[in-house]
Amino acid sequence: MRKYVFLLLAFMTLCSCSENKKVEQKAPLRVKTQVVSHGFANNSYSYVGIIEEREATAVSFTGMGVVRRVLVSEGQAVSRGQLLAEMDDTQARNLLSGAEAAMSQANDALQRYQMLHDNGSLPEVQWVEIQSKVAQAKSQLEVAKKNLSDCRLVSPVSGIIGKKLVGAGETAMPSQAIVTILDISTVKVKVSVPEGDISNIDGSTPSTITVEAVGAEVQGGRIEKGVEADALTHTYDVRINVSNGDRRLLPGMVASVSLTHNPIPADAPTRSLSPRGEGSNYALPVTAVQKAADGSLFVWTVSDDSTVHRTKVTIGDTTGNNVAIIDGLDMGQRVVTEGYQKLSEGTRVIY
């Protein structure tokens, strides 16, 4: 009997070990990778940018009053002249009615005194006074009409509603923005460029903008260079104009920007390439390079079986968000650039 008990316990132990091994088999980690290439050979450097609208217009009432209704919502496309909001116009209509009555009274007096003036029975001073009252009534009528018209807020430009700042029932103050209208038919991609790179960029420097949020890759247009550096980061703001006819690119989206700097002169000295890439200036994102406990630098490379391994590297100059790898990598190797925080030697990954 004891023999059967021992056999049963052994069987259960083997099953338990088998299940534990299955549990210990971790699912592959998802990472982003980059294939090693001569990133600096064509002077193409990468930066991170933010999309901005071409122009923003804050639209407001000219007078104070209670907002009766707002007819647009954030993200809505509007055209020039479209009604955006209305203010309570009760007081404006009352003032208009009074101005119309005063205008009617002044015109009636003018007609009655016209006959006396034509007959020479009316002193000239009194005739001038009557004409002045007519002019005053006409001016007040125009002001009343303008006040009533100003209770309707219309769009001065075409674009997209960015923010709705005041809702129905709230009191709007003069010149207080009710909504903002963004012109995004053309957008600008703002990039902070280190002071060491700014001299290599001009108004016609070629650029490629990638926006993962909408799966778009477009060519940049004219470049606007800032002339004042940030006091802390020593970077200059560069804005790249990008056509956005389909309005896919929205303000605030993050963009990956590749700028092709001015080419290296033909007579500039070059370095020979070593079998391990020394002097080849392979370009990788700065964040892909890690520091080991002994102070050495390494990157995670992906082997053919989709496992990662530490590979020691030697770095060179840093340009933008890229660093030059001058030794340790071969052309065509795949390097982990994002998601490396949870990696360890031999971890299986998917990319």
Taking alpha carbons only, the member of 148, 131, 128, 134 closest to residue 103 is 134
pLDDT greater than 70 at residue 281: no
The pLDDT of residue 5 is 43
Domain range annotation of the chain = 29-41+274-350, 46-53+185-260, 89-150
More confident residue, 275 or 50: 50
Residues 30-46 have a mean pLDDT of 70
pTM equals: 0.56
Rounded Cα gap, residues 239 and 232, in angstroms: 20
| Chosen CATH of 89-150 out of 3.30.230.10, 1.10.287.470, 3.40.190.10, 1.10.3720.10 | 1.10.287.470
Containing 164, the helix (H) or strand (E) segment is strand 159-164
Q: Mean pLDDT across the stretch 173-197?
A: 92
Question: In the predicted model, what is the mean pLDDT of the chain?
Answer: 83
CATH 2.40.30.170 matches 46-53+185-260: yes
Domain 29-41+274-350 belongs to what topology? 2.40.420
Q: Could you tell me the pLDDT band of residue 262, with boundaries at 50, 70 and 90?
A: low
pLDDT in tens, 243-255: 998 889 999 999 9
Please report the DSSP string for 278-340 in residue order: TTS-EEEEGGG-EE-TTS-EEEEEE-TTSBEEEEE-EEEEEETTEEEEEES--TT-EEEEESG
